[in-house]
Each structure stands twice: as C-alpha cells, then as structure tokens.
C-alpha cells in the first residue's frame, strides 16, 4: 500500500514537472511557441520523463533488493547457535519469525529470541519504507531539476523525447525474449539433473513408461522406468487425429469464407468461428470426456469394436475441432492476401472459380497455409486440458485410435500435480519431457517461419 502511494507521489511530481518544463519553455520564448525548437509539450514531456523514469527505476531496484537485505540483516543479528543451522532449517526459522512479526499464529510457542528478531525485522521494514520515500523522491526531484534546467528555446526536446520512446519500446520487446531464455534455462538445468539419474538413451528410446518410484525400500513393483517413446507416440497419434479433422475443415472453411461467401455470410460466420477459438480448453475437455468419448464407445460397440471409454479418437476429434479456427482464420488471411489481379487473370482466360482456386489461388497462398498448419500442429502437441480429461493416463504403445493413450502434456501435469519431492527422478522427468516438447514445437514454428520467408516474394 505504502509503495503504491510512493509511486503516485512520483507520478504527481512528474506531472508537475511537465507543467514546469512547458511553462519554462514558453516563458523563455517570450510566449511565442514558434521561437522554440520543439513544441511546448515536448519540453514538458522531457522534464516529465527525466523525473518519472529515474524515480520509478529506484523503486523497482529497491523492491528487488529490500527483502534480501532485510533477511541478511535479521539473520546476522541472531545469536551464534542459529548460524550453524543448515540452510533449510534457517529458512524455516526465518519464515517463523516473519509470521510472528505479521501476527500469524506460529505452530510452536514463540521464544524470546524469535520475538526479539521479529521486532528487529519490523523495525527494519519501517526504516526501509522511510528510506525508499526519501531516496526515490530525491532522485525524482533531482531528475526534474536537471531536466528543467536543460529546457532552452534551442534545446531539441522533440528528439530527446523520441530517444526515450525508442528505449521504452526496445525494453518492452526484450521482455518476451528474456522470458523465453529464462524458461529454456530453467528447463535445461532441471533436465540435466534428471539425466543424472536416468540415461538419455533410456529416456529417448525406452519403450516402457511407469514413473512411479519406490518411496520406501520395502515397496514393490514400482521400480520406475522412464522410456518416453509410448507417450510421444500417444502425442503424435492424438495430434494426427486432430490434424485429420482440423486441416480439411479449417482449410475448406477458409476457402469458402474468402472466395465464395458473400460479405453478409462472411460477417456472420467469421466471428462464430472465432468464438470457437475463445472457448476455454477445459470446456472442450469435458465435452470430449462426457459427450464425445461415450458416443464413440457406444457407436463402436454397436459395430462390435472394442473401444475404451477414454479413447485417443475422442480426444483427437475434439482437439481437431478446437484447432479449426486457427487454421481457418490464418488461411483465410493468406488466401485473401493473394492479389485480386491473379484471380482476374485466371477468370480472364476462361477458368471457372474452382479451377482458379485450385490452380492459382491455393498455390500462391500455399506457404501461408503450410505455416498455419504447422502452427496448428505445435498447438495440438502442446494442448493439455483436453487430453488430461479425455485421453487417459495409461502409457500404451499403440496405433489403435480406439485405445487409451497418454500424451506428454498429460504426463507432465500428473507428474507435477500434488505434493512432490523436487529431487526425485519422477518429478524431474517432467522437465525433460517439457524440454523435448519445447524443442519439438520450436522446430515446427521455425519451419513455419522459414517456409513463409522463403516463398514470400513469389507474387507481387
């Protein structure tokens, strides 16, 4: 709460800076804005940015450092016998004294040492808030003053503001890049720990997946085998079924929408298709588990087929329906982007509409269509909720769509749900699976990107 107030204070200071900068520029120009190098608002904006950015940066750094600094100060003030505790016990003790300080019940009687440390902690927190107020406002004020002093009729405030905007945009675009790097690094480190316990060969080429490991020495039948082939096979089976549904349906609806539908029909159908993309996957999940799977089991049963109630077919069909809008919407865009002049050239030679579409429009749009399909595949491979609910957990190595299979995402979810030790092969396996999955989808996305790049200048 107090931090929010500090931020508001800095923003108000920046707003005042805006008025001051603007006013000074106009005053120096004798009230004639034409005598200035830039617009009065640029001078105001320059002072505002000079004030707000350093102030907010101080707050951000302070908040990142503060908890660690307080923890170090509190722990180093504790009596000597605490310092010999192992790291985990020390962490627990620190959590206890923080709970005490915030008035949360602690599960054992508070001793004098902990109480003293708790009040030490609270005192440090108070000092930290006051310090933050002083430092951040001082920095913001200095920035305001320096910016204000630089305001002069021939100062290029417009260009200075432009530089700040550039930096802000670069910062925003690096967020995604650094997040990706962080995700990859965390996956890689946990995966390396996993391969300390299970060999790479056994993981990539093993035919049996049963990740239950023995917790006690006398447990039986849970040796733990981590052969990922069955679950990757399951993923590919379900994705293949999904694509068999989504590619024709998506592509044909894209062709209909972009080439045949009148504008009125298009205006109705396109949003409806996009609603399909907005349905939460959980909802698709129970549609698959409660409606489609029993339907397939009963229909299959009436033909004398042995269909399990959690079949790959049910999960794949529903996943395919979920993916239709991805393909149709992207393909629709690329088909519409094919120049009208190519269609007219074909019509002008006496081609019919379907001849034109098959022989001119689709070949021209093909790179875009392929990339939309590849993106849809990576979406299918990464999809979790539908398969968790409808595909089952049994790691069967089968190509029979009527049997239950399991997928990589389902296994990751079940391995990590609930209370788990984070140093057993079982939980670490989830990271190895995640990394392989990440590499697969990354490869597909790259392929999509390369296809589009390579054929982009084909027409036009």
Partner 1 sequence: MSAIAMRNQEAAPADIKMRAAGVDVSYGDKQALFAVNVAIETNTVTALIGPSGCGKSTFLRCLNRMNDVIEGCRVSGQITLDGVDVHDRAIDVVELRARVGMVFQKPNPFPKSVYENVAYGPRIHGLANSRAELDDIVHSSLRRAGLIDEVRDRLDEPGTGLSGGQQQRLCIARAIAVEPEVILMDEPCSALDPIATAKVEELIDDLRERYTIVIVTHSMQQAARVSQRTAFFHLGEVVEQGETGQIFTKPVDERTQAYITGRIG
Give me the residues that bind partner 1 (CB under 8 A), please.
262-263, 339, 341-352, 355, 359-360, 363-364, 458-459
Q: How far is the CB of 279 from partner 1 (least distance, A)?
A: 32
Q: Which tokens is 327 given?
A: 């393909």
Which CB sits closer to partner 1, 122 or 351?
351
**Least Å distance between CB 460 and partner 1?**
8
Q: Which residues, in sequence order, are bridge partners of residue 209?
A: 226
Of 129 and 342, CB closest to partner 1: 342
Nearest residue to 163 (alpha-carbon basis) of 42, 342, 266? 42
Q: Which is nearer to partner 1, 189 or 260 (CB)?
A: 260
Can you tell me the distance from the alpha carbon of 197 to that of 191, in angstroms, rounded to the nearest whole number?
10
Tokens of 149: 């002093």
Q: How far is the CB of 456 from partner 1 (least distance, A)?
A: 11
Closer CB to partner 1, 313 or 365, in the complex: 365
Token reading at 209: 């997946």
- Kindly tell me which of 402 and 459 has the beta carbon lying closer to partner 1: 459
Burial class for 414, CB neighbours closer than 10 Å (0-12, 13-18, 19+): middle
Minimum CB separation of residue 29 from partner 1 in Å reads 47
Measured from the CB of residue 372, what is the shortest distance to partner 1 in angstroms?
18
Token pair for residue 275?
A: 């609603």
Q: Whose Cβ is closer to partner 1: residue 159's or residue 456's?
A: 456
| Residue 348 beta carbon to partner 1: minimum distance, rounded to whole angstroms | 4
**199: phi > 0 → left, psi -120 to 50 → alpha, else beta; which?**
beta
**Distance between CA atoms of 397 and 390, rounded to whole angstroms?**
17
Specify which residues 424 forms β-bridges with: none
**Gap between the Cα atoms of 93 and 99, Å rounded:** 10
Distance CA(386)–CA(318), nearest Å, equals 8
């Amino acid at each position: 709460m107090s931090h929010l107030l500090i931020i508001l204070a800095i923003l108000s200071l920046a707003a005042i800076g805006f008025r001051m900068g603007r006013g000074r520029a106009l005053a120096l120009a004798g009230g004639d804005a034409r005598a200035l190098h830039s617009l009065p608002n640029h001078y105001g904006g320059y002072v505002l940015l000079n004030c707000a950015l350093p102030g907010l940066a101080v707050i951000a750094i302070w908040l990142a450092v503060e908890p660690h600094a307080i923890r170090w100060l509190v722990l180093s003030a504790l009596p000597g016998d605490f310092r010999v505790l192992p790291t985990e016990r020390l962490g627990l003790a620190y959590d206890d004294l923080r709970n005490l300080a915030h008035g949360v019940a602690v599960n054992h009687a508070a001793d004098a040492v902990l109480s003293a440390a708790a009040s030490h902690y609270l005192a440090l927190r108070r000092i930290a808030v006051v310090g933050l107020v002083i430092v951040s406002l001082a920095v913001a004020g200095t920035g305001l003053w320096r910016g204000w002093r630089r305001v002069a009729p021939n100062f290029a405030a417009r260009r200075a503001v432009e530089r700040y905007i550039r930096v802000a945009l670069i910062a925003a675009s690096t967020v995604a890049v650094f997040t990706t790097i962080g995700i990859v690094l965390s996956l890689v480190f946990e995966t390396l720990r996993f391969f300390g316990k299970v060999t790479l060969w056994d993981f990539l080429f093993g035919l049996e997946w049963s990740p239950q490991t023995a917790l006690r020495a006398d447990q039986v039948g849970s040796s733990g085998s981590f052969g990922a082939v069955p679950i990757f096979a399951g993923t590919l089976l379900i994705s293949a079924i999904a694509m068999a549904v989504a590619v024709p349906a998506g592509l044909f609806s894209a062709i209909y929408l972009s080439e045949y539908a009148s504008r009125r029909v298009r205006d109705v159908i396109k949003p409806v298709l996009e609603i399909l993309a907005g349905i939460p996957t959980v909802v698709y999940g129970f549609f698959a588990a409660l409606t489609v799977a029993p339907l397939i089991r009963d229909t299959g049963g009436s033909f004398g087929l042995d269909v399990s109630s959690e079949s790959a077919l049910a999960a794949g069909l529903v996943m395919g329906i979920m993916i239709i809008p991805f393909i149709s919407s992207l393909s629709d865009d690329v088909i519409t982007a094919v120049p009208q002049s190519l269609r007219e050239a074909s019509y002008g030679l006496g081609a019919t509409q379907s001849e034109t579409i098959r022989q001119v429009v689709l070949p021209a749009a093909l790179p875009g269509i392929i990339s939309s399909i590849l993106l849809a595949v990576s979406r299918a491979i990464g999809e979790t909720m539908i398969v968790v609910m409808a595909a089952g957990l049994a790691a069967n190595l089968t190509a029979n769509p009527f049997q239950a299979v399991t997928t990589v995402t389902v296994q990751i979810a079940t391995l990590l749900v609930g209370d788990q030790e984070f140093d057993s092969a079982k939980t670490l396996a989830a990271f190895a699976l995640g990394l392989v999955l990440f590499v697969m989808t990354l490869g597909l996305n790259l392929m999509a990107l390369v296809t589009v790049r390579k054929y982009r200048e084909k027409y036009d």
